A = this chain, B = another copy of it.
Amino acid sequence: MKARVFVTLKPGVLDPQGKAIHHALEGLGFSGVQDVRAGKLIELDLADGTSDTDIEAMCRKLLANTVIENFRIERLEPAA
């Protein structure tokens, strides 16, 4: 079973990586960019039957820093 975890900075948290990408895009001549936020995408290949609770525990304990980051879980195949 596959799952994807999207980790994004919470609104209001400074994002120097996003700022750098924004600046670089402008330097390359892309003018219509108003804001850039950088996040992480983690693709998990899990044993069938892994519950949503388990995936959420992985996010809370390791994958995301919940003080400054939000996470969203997307299952690619339904739970067994």
Pick the contact of A33: B21, B24, B44 (CB < 8 A).
B44
Q: Is the CB of A40 within 8 A of B40?
A: yes
Instruction: Assess the A62–B21 pair: CB atoms within 8 A.
Output: yes
Distance between Cα atoms of A44 and B26 in the complex (Å) = 13
Query: For chain A, which range describes its interface: under 10, 10 to 19, 20 to 34, or 35 or more residues?
Result: 20 to 34
Residue pair B34, A47 in contact (C-beta under 8 Å):
yes
B41 and A36 contact, CB distance less than 8 A: no
Task: Tell whether A40 pairs with B42 under 8 Å between CB atoms, given A28-B61, A30-B58, A32-B54.
Answer: no
A77 at interface by CB-CB < 8 Å: no
Most buried by B among A25, A44, A45, A61: A44
A sample of 15 more A-B contacts (CB under 8 A), given A18-B43, A24-B62, A36-B42, is: A25-B58, A28-B58, A28-B61, A30-B57, A31-B47, A32-B47, A33-B44, A33-B45, A33-B46, A33-B47, A35-B45, A37-B43, A38-B41, A38-B42, A39-B41
